[in-house]
Amino acid sequence: MKFLKYIWFSLSVLLFGGCADYLDVVPEGTATLESSFSNRPNSEKFFYSCYNNLPNMSQAFEYPGYIAGGDEIWFDVDNNMKGNNGARLAQGQQNITDPYLNYWDGAQGGKNMWVGIRNCNIFLENIDKVPDLREDERIRWKAEIKFLKAYFHFFLLQMYGPIPIVETNIDVSASPEEVRIYREPVDDVIEYIVRLIDEATPDLPLYIQEISNETGRVTQAAAVAIKAKVLVWAASPLVNGSYTFYSDFKDKRGVQLIANNPDPAVLRARWQRAAEAVKNAIDTAHLAGHALFHFQRGFDMMSDTTLLKYTLRGCVTERGATFNNMEVIWGYYGNDNNQFQNWSSPKIYQSYAGTAELSATMKMAETYYTRNGLPIDEDPYWEYDTRYTTRADTGTWHRYYVGAGETTARLNYYREPRFYAHLGFDRGIYEYFATPEDQALVIKQRSGEVHGLVYQDCHPSTGYFMKKHVNFRNPTTTNGPSPVRFAPPIVRLPDLYLLYAETLNELLPDEDAQPGDEIYQWVDSIRVRAGLNKVVESWQWSSNPGKPNRKASMREIIKRERLIELSFEGQRPFDLRRWRDAEKYMNEPVRGWDFQGSKIDDYYLTTIYFSNRNFTYKDYLWPLRSSTLTVNSNLVQNPGW
């Protein structure tokens, strides 16, 4: 039986390896657990292989926060991408026979997260046997693996809701009934995750000191940030007990799997605990040196406008200490994100293969504020009703946003700086650091033009590039794409700032309560960095000047700020689900400009590219594969499937 255990270990390492940098190291040629932990070098390989089980944020089609969200990033449903797992899920094709992005069983583009948890348990059960490992290393390694184990449980919880708690691995000699474990209530899973993180945190470094060798490893700042996000999830409407749809969600023991207690005092206690955790995470991040990123002027003649655009892209794409980006608290350093960058890039190379195939939806273009820091339908000084018509650039305000003398949609004029930093569009300026500001690339995207439809698989289907996902340090003179790698953020500081504003707002006594300055200041810190006025100052000029003065409407402002600031970072689908807003957003049609139009009047036609998502209550949680329920009869399916 022990031999079978060794075989499983070897197979799991072989099947689930494959990350770059230090994550690339797996226990090659290791036949037994004894040899894996016989000395420091072998145990170090096993240690890094546990990081290898992190969900792959560098793949747009295999991470549930990207294309699977379905309303933020889109693709041409007629090209070769429509058969990808994430694309099928985005089109509403999820099923129970063979679910897409199956992170439970490791199928259809998903990793088997239980393998990651199993490997963490193997490590924790054996690391004390290593004879030549320094005690300080042993303590830190154990803390990191405890945290990873907690994070893997959290990732599964976000997707599936109630999950089994695998505190220790099941022995190979266990009886069939012992193997058939149950899903545990969400609240119990939350408490287990929090306990693991609390155990791990004191033994983690506050920040990474060996930048060249340890970047991407877990710190105290990362650990308490994830703990904060776990407790915000527990307080949010999807699982906090206020969603009556889950009132009958019980397992075969009769155990309630998602809370069914809408008592205001209980809900308030959840938000209070979350607020305290988020504030602790912010304080810890600040103590560790994390701060909002500001790009350092590249050369004396760079305009303030371009400088701000580099700041608003660089907070995601600049790599840590190399470029003084201390905003990212924890990033995904496994594999590489070249493919994602290529798919999001304009066709500026002689070889077009693999570029310009992903795009932002028009919904996202309309989500960003006007230059006055207001939603486009609440700014009386912005031309909302004529936003789909065109106009020529006639002034200096757009000098660094729109090509001189060019004509584009009114939707693209007088918008906030993040709009221009995060999105590329027809006749818009697309900045690269290697290109002088006065020679910046102007996108020409109509059919037959250099950045438009040339052949079927190489164009942005909606008319909007995701500039935010493309490193502005990429070279522009190579024959084909050669992206400069960066680590997609798992959590960065603005995420915590906005979560703290959200939790404080939810703690107000009623929906008409007046938010205070403490709530405003955390939102304002993000807005001011983005070149906008503060919330109250901006809204005094809106069609609804009293909006920031009530808890209910301030909630809307905070949500929208998150949807803008964290756009295209894999966060939106998780937020929409925990807020229980996904049915509203996911069922709206996917719209864009007509990429087949070669003339202005033909190109600037709003076109519906997909309208049949049909997201319902059941889609808030991923389904379990039907065969998995057959193998383990103690598991129950998620509601609605």
* Residues 362 and 257 placed together within one structural domain of the fold: no
CA distance 508 to 411: 36
> Is the per-residue pLDDT at 66 higher than 60?
yes
Q: From CA 392, how far away is CA 114, in angstroms rounded?
A: 56
Statement to judge: residues 262 and 359 lie in one domain: no
What mean pLDDT do residues 244-252 have?
A: 94
Average pLDDT over residues 234-262: 95
34 pLDDT higher than 50: yes
Q: Which residue has the higher pLDDT, 394 or 34?
A: 34
Split at pLDDT 50, 70, 90, the class of 20 is very low
Joined tokens for residue 241? 């007990």
pLDDT band of 109, cuts 50, 70, 90:
very high
| 313 belongs to a structural domain | no
The predicted-structure confidence for 376-407, as pLDDT tens digits, reads as follows: 999 999 999 999 999 997 789 999 999 999 99
Domain end point (choices 289, 320, 345): 289
Average confidence (pLDDT) over 151-172? 95
44 is a domain residue? yes
Judgement on whether residues 170 and 48 belong to the same structural domain of the protein = yes
| Residue 455 confidence (pLDDT) above 80 | no
**pLDDT value at 28 more than 60:** no
Distance CA 132, CA 137 (A): 10
Calculate mean pLDDT across residues 621-632. Answer: 96
The Cα-based distances of 323 to 114, 296, 537 in angstroms read 36, 9, 33
| pLDDT value, residue 175 | 86
Domain termination site, one of 223, 257, 289: 289
pLDDT at 18: 33
Q: Are residues 253 and 335 in the same domain?
A: no
pLDDT in tens, 290-339: 999 999 876 667 899 999 999 999 999 998 766 789 999 999 987 666 77
Residues 346, 230: one domain? no
- Structural domain includes residue 217: yes
Position with higher pLDDT, 29 vs 215: 215
Question: What integer pLDDT is reported at residue 22 of this predicted model?
Answer: 33
pLDDT at 458 over 80: no
Using CA atoms, how far apart are residues 335 and 485, in angstroms rounded to an integer? Answer: 10
* pLDDT given for residue 352 in this prediction: 62
517 within domain boundaries: no
| CA 100/CA 103 separation, integer angstroms | 9
Is 255 part of any domain? yes
336 and 240 together in one domain:
no
CATH number at residue 150: 1.25.40.890
Does 322 reside within a domain? no
Judgement on whether residues 351 and 277 belong to the same structural domain of the protein? no
Quick check: 341 pLDDT over 70?
A: yes
Domain that holds residue 177: 2-52+112-289
Same domain, 257 and 362: no
pTM above threshold 0.85: yes
| Residue 433 located in a structural domain | yes
> How many folded domains does the chain comprise?
2
CA dist 580 and 617 (Å) reads 9
> Same domain for 282 and 392?
no
Instruction: Provide the token pair at 431.
Output: 């900045």
Q: Are residues 166 and 219 in the same domain?
A: yes
* Residue 10 CB coordination number (10 Å): 18
- Mean pLDDT highest for which of 2-11, 189-198, 261-270, 333-342? 189-198
**40 & 176 share domain:** yes
Answer yes or no: is 178 within a domain: yes
**What is the pLDDT, as a whole number, of residue 529?**
98
Claim to verify: residue 46 and residue 177 sit in the same structural domain: yes
Q: Read off the pLDDT of residues 593-610 as tens digits, 9 standing for 90 and up.
A: 999 999 999 999 999 999
